[in-house]
Structure 1
């Protein structure tokens, strides 16, 4: 196996020969063998181990074992400890997902803090088969059937071409010891049930089942690449980006065949994986929307609007502008200038009577019940009605800033000024207000 592994690295992972990487090591068979293989190939790496504290003394024994291996191989050793159950309760997720999030967040901290190029894990061909069957059982698109990627931006998995049987044979032939995790025998976990009960039956069906499966993954990956290029072309044609959001013609979407496959391919990268919900949205009334963890998808007349959800947790609700301030940079770039002339207002530029203003002025987002007196109209108008008449979509409404005086609207910024603050023949001091880059 060593010769095959070295040839595999030279052909497919040459970057690991000329860089430093972090090898994740649980103490189990796969990661211990990978550490020995990389060491025999004279590769430059450090070892990281997570002690989740889930198995008491056994967890501590794993840590000691991996630490001894790092000393034996003369490699830098990183270790950390997690309150896994506390993280599960706080985030309301499963044990497996909690452990995954905790360890990968920590691994990437090590990469960043130590200038290490890649993270290397010991996933192998049998792991790939397990993942395929798990995704198949839950329902997935082709992206869920192509298995674990051998490379991502910062992760490398050089054992994916090798079976667990090959790894075990190498360990036994080279007298390499490892730690057994008894929880791997518990079939209450789906992955263990597949590994221990289903995969052995599949291998009984054909002696070359795993090899045939690896070939199938290659074919699926090639098909997925063709699909990816097609989706890229369609997105270029249909996704029109403007002012921080993407507009997609519903009529153009409906012409795609098969529609459900296209909807999944186009919108799943943004967190929308329930195709039925997207199909329903196409037929619903304007203003209805779907929301993923990262994006909103809004039905707006004849279009779908796609927009990233802003991180409002750190955004102030109200920004104060004292008298005498000439420029503000947050949340908008606005200049205030006292002038002795008046021109017509534009979307980005208005002239107001300073005597009508009450300082400090404020910048805030709009809220239900807001109204103003639009210049050019008699009386007041609710802002919600103004947005509707101007055909301003829900996303844009959420991002709309108002310049206010004593909470009365002076300017719907970038759209319309309020007549109560306009310059008249009696105005003595004129303030020119201009917003940039809106």
Structure 2
């Protein structure tokens, strides 16, 4: 016989967004249950680079959220160490800083203007004289035309960070149920959401938080309130281990910023040559370099495309010529939760009382996770918010057309991992 379980809040998704939200809510003495259809942190979180960035965000709501996260991450790292002690996995926290470079005259002008706008909002964006660049990155190409350093940029190992956040949530009383898929809503007579049916039985709760990443569109439709979240495919190369001084910062070409903000990328019908690529190179604590990146709309097609990987590699060698002799040992790809206006969806859904969303962060979810979680907690408990939540609301004007037409995650999966 099925046994109904009760919780104050059910979080759907045990990636880093769900983990961070569970920790915040459990810390506020809420009874929290996290449900994931597979293993925790095994999907989008496991296929990220661990970036915590302000350098790639233009002034606006997302940058405000990123700056809040940059302030909160060191606090979270310290608290995790105190709470978990020797049980804390090495999350490889590294405030290495970012170095954004241009390789053309037009790129230099654009980078300079972008950095000036960021500085007006308080971002520490430091122009670097070209003569000083070799002191920061000795192996970087001498053909660059401009450089800006961002000391606030940082990095973590994303799976370890998510596991640490979940472990902290458990110490605060949260429960985590893996291999538990959501099947449908439980409603009261008024239509308000009062829980979810799952493969492990019913879970009764007044608050359901949809933190299902690229699958959040499917979960939202299942619960009666579609949101336009689509998977956006990205791929990364991993090199053999290199000396730690090979690449000292997260280094990327200024065209990465335009690629992040682009609404394009190829459809399922076009060829892989339509993928948006840019050069991003960074070190890891273990020694290999991570080399990216690409962005493509291809549904849940999880195939690696050799021609796209070749373009990623070629662009990286333009920045670091010495990489031409460094072996690539593997490549991986992942799905990111994309939204048409490039802002996360955070907050209550007015159409279905009891349903909340924390999704749509695309490739910035690792960095934005702790501020997203703080904002969710503050809104649910009616506390003063860390940033203005209105730009992130599910029914904002920028999403109205896509939401009304049911646009979003309608792409068919190519593997079982795409089920909600």
State whether TM-score is above 0.5: no
- Greater helix share, 1 or 2? 1
Q: When the two structures are superposed, what TM-score results if normalisation uses the length of structure 1?
A: 0.19
> Which structure: larger Rg?
1
Structure with bigger RCO (C-alpha 8 Å, 6+ apart): 2
Q: When the two structures are superposed, what TM-score results if normalisation uses the length of structure 2?
A: 0.20
